[in-house]
Structure 1
Amino acid sequence: MNPQNDAAQAPFGGTEPLRPVRLGVHDVLRLGLLGIRTRKMRAVLSALGISIGVATLVLVTAIPASSRQDLSEQLAALGPDTLRVEPQPDQKPPVLLQPDAARAVARIGPVTRTSAVANTHEIVRRSDRMDANDGLGLTVLASRRDLLPAVGGKVMSGKFLDRGTSGLPMVVLGYQAASRLGIPRVEPGRKPTVVPIGKTWFTVIGVLAPMPLTPDLDRSVLVGWQAAEKYLDFDGHPTVLYLKAREDAIEDVAAVLAATVYPQSPGLVKVSRPSDALTAKRAAQSTFSALFFGLACVALLVGGIGVANTMYISVLERRKEIGLRRALGANRRQICGQFLTESVVLSLAGGLVGTATGSLAATGYALYQGWPTLIPATALAAGTAGSVTIGVLAGLYPSVRAARLTPTEALAL
């Protein structure tokens, strides 16, 4: 090879040909931040437009979500997933449900909880000196231990029937039953209160909180299933079944319940219809969405236009800088990357600030309203991703325009 030819290919007598310099990520980021550092107020105002849009997106997503969650919790307290099964009234001879009816219902796939009570046809009195026929309008029910989860009940004082007490002469009083018997609470450490049922004295071990969905239980005295069989001559046939099922399958479960508990004549069994609260809950879940999301998108669009306008003006104002960098060897890709990076950084900064601001505002509003705070992760991700996307789209044309400027065109202006 001719060394003179090699030297001719390299400037200043060098032996290596010139190669374009490749900028690292750090260099591209430093150049992209140059315009932001030198024009701080304009950068802040541009990022502000994006942050307002993202904050709006988070707010209009989180506030309806929190409100919907609060409404769903209120409707869930109305028992939209609860069904009640009992024989049709005034049947002669009376319909007797099988003792294992609750277990048969539990085998239905969507059913999550089951329990049962049975009328013992006994009378409870305040004392044995009262009229034997004066039952105070109260019903003595044999109850399974899993009754409270199936009806959404809670113990106000004392405790409920369990494995150790369901076979003993012990009772739990409904809220109204406790009031009529003059036993508003069960105080630990005090002498236990007893009430006569039939020929046996039963110890009161608990009082239930009000249950508006099952007022019949409020007026009931609950005896353990085994204790009712032992002390009250209970025959083991339940009179009412309670169950919970998945809300999406509640109608299907209701359709097969009668045939499940009394297959010989399903028409003699009454199944309560799903609560109207279920319809309201489903409607509430689809009410807040499209309109609010559309408003948020408009806000983001306005912010993106602001960034695009800022970047376009920045290109016009910095033509001499572009020309000088081109004259010193910067290629079009490097110029385009500089301005595109600046646009993305502006939008990303605005998106992060907007996400934080929107989350704080939504949390504060939810706490003020007494709602559970719920900020969908999709809203946070959409805000950040949307700001980056807007930065790319808003900076694309100004970046390409800057890259197309030749050194002579840029320096001549």
Structure 2
Amino acid sequence: MKRVPRWRPPLRRARPGDVRRSSLSARDLGAEALAGVLQRPARSALTALGTVLGVGSFIAVLGLTGTAASQIDARFNELTATEVAVEDTGGSDAARVPLAFPQDADRRIGRLNGVTAAGVFWRVRLGAEQTVRSAPPAGAGAGERAQVMAASPGALQAAGPRFSQGRAYDAYHDGHREQVAVIGSATAARLGITTLRTQPAVFVGDVPFTVIGILDDVDRKPELLMSVLVPRSTAEHVWGPPGDERAKMLVATRLGAAGQIAAEAPVALRPEHPEYFKALPPPDPRTLRSGVGDDLSQLFLLLAGVCLIIGTVGIANTTLVAVMERTGEIGLRRALGARGSHITAQFLAESTLLGLLGGLVGTSLGTATVVAVAAVREWTPVIDPLTVASAPALGLTTGLLAGLYPAWRASRIPPAEALRR
């Protein structure tokens, strides 16, 4: 039986359009990028270090700013929110009335509901030759130019003093114009006063004052630690009313009462002339917190931005070096059918992967830093979840931008010239 041959279509010459163009799947692209990163692990780690620092700084800055801002309310409530300052302006009678605070100013303000302590103070004006010394004026040695403050017992109590030795003067000392003094620890050290057992005295000019207390610290008005404090009535008797600097009143209140006390204080002090005084309530804690947060964010976000720029330049430089080192590989791929877009995608994927890895590691380090600092300071760490979620994307974007020019440069290398290298 004769075999019939199978029919075949006639052969025709291949045309350029009949050649199937090469393609690169996303899976292959990811595998090539991972292989390129793992091929030189040490270089890849150093390259991603800049992104790690930048993203880590970004997380740490925002986290620490939020954590610190959350603590401001508590610290504000403890001190600043419970402090009211009353200034003696004198109004239109300032020249005629050098001291508008009445003698019983402490008692008048103390009667207001919410006040825990209040008192008047001012800086004593001394002559050019009046110094503070621990020996009589005829003794040897030059005196100290220490600050002398006239302060009522209530002012000293409102400052929240803590004594290393002795105690504060009281209403008896003030009422009888006793020549006693309370000095700060720094002033005591300069004057050579180490103990109160010998009943030491300080001489302001030629006026002696027996030291009955040495301040170790205060909650308010830290300038008191550098001063010699004497009773208000004694200062008025020795040096007269305030001179260049008018008197002020420090009022310590319970939490939540400061605003009301500031409104009532001028009338309570001088019902006939409330315009003589200007009461300053504490600032809004929300404004304070916002201001501190903005200052910290602007300062440290600038640092984070610098780190990200350094990371971008590092990734771009390393990727460009890799392009030059892998010129032969690029030429071989092009000769086997890879298009320029494939080469661009490969190097972009490698730089993007480095940026993403740097972003992930930086996010972890930044979060750990915030938690560690909060633990040491005994704070509650505050980190916005949106910030943590967006930080790796920031690293990815950094790597993508860093790889644009090297990837474009790799795609422009002619295959024939690449193979000859």
TM-score by length of 2: 0.49
Q: Tell me whether 1:70 sits opposite 2:75 in the alignment.
A: no
Contact kept in structure 2, 1:75 and 1:277, CA below 8 Å: no
- The alpha-carbon deviation at position 76 of structure 1 amounts to 4.6
Q: Tell me whether 1:214 sits opposite 2:215 in the alignment.
A: no
Q: 1:41 to 1:282 in 2, by over 3 A?
A: closer
The 2-side partners of 1:365 and 1:293 are apart by 18
Match of 2:342 in 1: 334
Contact kept in structure 2, 1:66 and 1:375, CA below 8 Å: yes
Q: Tell me whether 1:9 sits opposite 2:10 in the alignment.
A: no
Contact kept in structure 2, 1:78 and 1:213, CA below 8 Å: no
TM-score by length of 1: 0.50
- The alpha-carbon deviation at position 19 of structure 1 amounts to 2.0
Match of 2:323 in 1: 315
Match of 2:269 in 1: none
Aligned residues: 238
- The alpha-carbon deviation at position 382 of structure 1 amounts to 4.6
- The Cα RMSD (Å) is 3.8
Q: 1:280 to 1:40 in 2, by over 3 A?
A: closer
- The alpha-carbon deviation at position 380 of structure 1 amounts to 2.5
- The alpha-carbon deviation at position 53 of structure 1 amounts to 1.7
**Structure 1 residues 43-52 or 311-320, which shifts more?**
43-52
The 1-side partners of 2:294 and 2:77 are apart by 16
Q: 1:61 to 1:320 in 2, by over 3 A?
A: same
- The alpha-carbon deviation at position 330 of structure 1 amounts to 0.4
The 2-side partners of 1:327 and 1:377 are apart by 48
Query: In structure 1, the residue corresponding to 2:21 is in which secondary structure?
Result: coil
Query: In structure 2, the residue corresponding to 1:329 is in which secondary structure?
Result: coil
The 2-side partners of 1:300 and 1:281 are apart by 27
1:355 aligned partner, one-letter code: T
The 1-side partners of 2:308 and 2:387 are apart by 13
Query: In structure 2, the residue corresponding to 1:8 is in which secondary structure?
Result: coil
Q: 1:346 to 1:285 in 2, by over 3 A?
A: closer
The 2-side partners of 1:67 and 1:339 are apart by 42
Match of 1:385 in 2: 393
Q: 1:172-201 CA distances to partner (integer Å, 9 max, x unpaired)?
A: xxxxxxxxxxxxxxxxxxxxxxxxxxxxxx
Structure 1 residue runs of 5 or longer lacking an equivalent are: 82-138, 142-150, 152-211, 216-241, 245-249, 256-266
The 2-side partners of 1:281 and 1:388 are apart by 32
Identity of aligned residues (%): 35
Contact kept in structure 2, 1:79 and 1:213, CA below 8 Å: no
The 1-side partners of 2:335 and 2:314 are apart by 31
Within 5 A, what are the aligned runs for 1:55-134?
Answer: 55-76=56-77
Q: Tell me whether 1:350 sits opposite 2:390 in the alignment.
A: no
Match of 2:25 in 1: 24
Q: 1:196-246 CA distances to partner (integer Å, 9 max, x unpaired)?
A: xxxxxxxxxxxxxxxx8539xxxxxxxxxxxxxxxxxxxxxxxxxx899xx
The 1-side partners of 2:290 and 2:346 are apart by 50
Within 5 A, what are the aligned runs for 1:285-296?
Answer: 285-296=293-304
The 2-side partners of 1:371 and 1:53 are apart by 25
Query: In structure 1, the residue corresponding to 2:13 is in which secondary structure?
Result: helix
- The alpha-carbon deviation at position 276 of structure 1 amounts to 3.5
The 2-side partners of 1:356 and 1:49 are apart by 15
Contact kept in structure 2, 1:75 and 1:281, CA below 8 Å: no
Q: 1:72 to 1:19 in 2, by over 3 A?
A: farther
Contact kept in structure 1, 2:66 and 2:383, CA below 8 Å: yes
Structure 2 residue runs of 5 or longer lacking an equivalent are: 1-7, 83-110, 115-251, 264-273
Within 5 A, what are the aligned runs for 1:12-411?
Answer: 17-76=18-77, 213-214=253-254, 275-276=282-283, 278=285, 280-411=288-419
The 2-side partners of 1:310 and 1:70 are apart by 43
Query: In structure 1, the residue corresponding to 2:322 is in which secondary structure?
Result: helix
Deviating beyond 6 angstroms after TM superposition, the runs of 4 or more aligned structure 1 residues are: none
Match of 2:153 in 1: none
1:299 aligned partner, one-letter code: C
The 1-side partners of 2:404 and 2:283 are apart by 54
